[in-house]
Structure 1
């Protein structure tokens, strides 16, 4: 049994959740557009600096994109938290968010393959990244008749996590937690000919070493492994936020050809990198994607998908 966190930590988490939840509820009372603009401003101008997000954004950019002008880096230090704030409030505005997404028409060469796989009851893995708002793609795919589930990681704050997951599920469900049981349930759901959405653009200490922005990036190889084992179609889908801050363009790319695990995993990274270079303000530069300082130290074994069920 894990040790119980100290009282000070539990009290701090409770307080952060109480304040955060209260702010979210107050913003939900505003009309949709002003609500999103306020959320963006709050994260860009207040929470971003306080949380250390700007420092992490600059560190990541200096590591993988050092030629980017300082003026552009400064702009991203504002634009990236702005997008994060909008994404969070969109998540808590599921009914209005889904209604807006329902009016969108996806673009791109992969639409036909995506819909044909659904008709033929072929398993589908939709891959994307923390880019724009990935939940817009999940919503639209659900509204096109797919049964789509998603893999998620719990928030570290145990008081905030329940309503956070509830908000995610309100956009489209089912949701599968990154636990052994959750992963097994997700694989079973996929095998039944359904669609799952996975965001593999996070650091995995025991992941496959492939390149991302020209640097070694440990990446979960489970998407390719699942696709090859269950003949699942792997379709990259990206939801790019438009200039008005509340609308999206949803791009469905050609499926990634089945080959070998490393080639497919690299192709997933390459596709996301291409989108980020076009719209760098829309990716989550504030998270620790590379962790070069741990390359020779981190020997942990992250939980892998149980694909034996």
Structure 2
């Protein structure tokens, strides 16, 4: 927002919600980093997640995708999934305490890392296919720590008061960031054509997507990451920040590049790779999304 812009009016309910969030984060920031992150995880697992109705959504999704799980395993995930979300949010608002840890450890690994290094040397555009898994921003921090030009497309939150601090917190981790909308998309395409790297999500249900499969179930998947890779001859590969057992550190796993073919085949390959990763770390994917929507 420029100095001459007039802030949009914010509904009272949104101001109250934003004030409550800032109060919680303010208290959390009084704790040292190693205690702050698990404390926010506990709060989301035992209070905020249930209050938001996440547990019922997680249970429904697990019943569809993993009916083989025992009740004990499901109960564990009802707590562990919100806990990971809470930890991730606390990390975003920890600024340099978070990014310095990522830069110092340089956690990039995986079979696709040599291809990324070659793309950086050649100035080739890259599509980073990302999901709501682990901590998305660990990946952005790791790549920017090497000086690589990683951008991201984001959708502003409905709560304008929340946006006023959330978006700057995201920008502090890595830039550039492009808002959804005509101007943001145009700027993103210019960045990509100039050899930039774009992190694009693909793991949410998309009404305008193509029906592919995830966990063996039909679901509409966005084709845009593959379409852009084909259009701009960009390297496309999956990447994820996998939270490690200590709950604080990460391994940023760079997957095998996806061969260029047709967009649907490429996106199915990404769905399959994500399913492999989620099965290995069930608590780190955001099972709250309505990934499998039923239509009459």
Do they superpose with TM above 0.5?
A: yes
Structure 2: any 5+ residue segments left out of the alignment? Answer: 1-8
TM-score by length of 1: 0.90
CA distance in 2, matches of 1:154, 1:289: 20
For 2:132, the equivalent position in structure 1 comes to 130
For 1:300, the equivalent position in structure 2 comes to none
Structure 1: any 5+ residue segments left out of the alignment? Answer: 1-6, 297-309
CA distance in 1, matches of 2:26, 2:292: 35
- Contact 1:118 1:194 (C-alpha < 8 Å) held by counterparts: no
Correspondent of 2:274 among 256, 261, 272:
272
For 2:290, the equivalent position in structure 1 comes to 288
- Contact 1:13 1:157 (C-alpha < 8 Å) held by counterparts: yes
For 1:47, the equivalent position in structure 2 comes to 48
Correspondent of 1:192 among 186, 191, 194:
194
CA distance in 1, matches of 2:261, 2:239: 20
Aligned-residue offset at 1:94 = 2.0
Q: How many residues align?
A: 287
Aligned-residue offset at 1:87 = 0.4
Aligned-residue offset at 1:264 = 0.4
Aligned-residue offset at 1:18 = 0.6
For 1:145, the equivalent position in structure 2 comes to 147
Aligned-residue offset at 1:162 = 2.0
TM-score by length of 2: 0.94
- Contact 2:99 2:141 (C-alpha < 8 Å) held by counterparts: yes
- Is residue 260 from structure 1 mapped to residue 262 from structure 2 by the alignment? yes
Q: CA RMSD in A?
A: 1.3
- Contact 2:239 2:252 (C-alpha < 8 Å) held by counterparts: yes
CA distance in 2, matches of 1:94, 1:256: 33
Correspondent of 1:227 among 213, 222, 229:
229
CA distance in 2, matches of 1:24, 1:262: 41
- Contact 1:208 1:221 (C-alpha < 8 Å) held by counterparts: yes
For 2:176, the equivalent position in structure 1 comes to 174
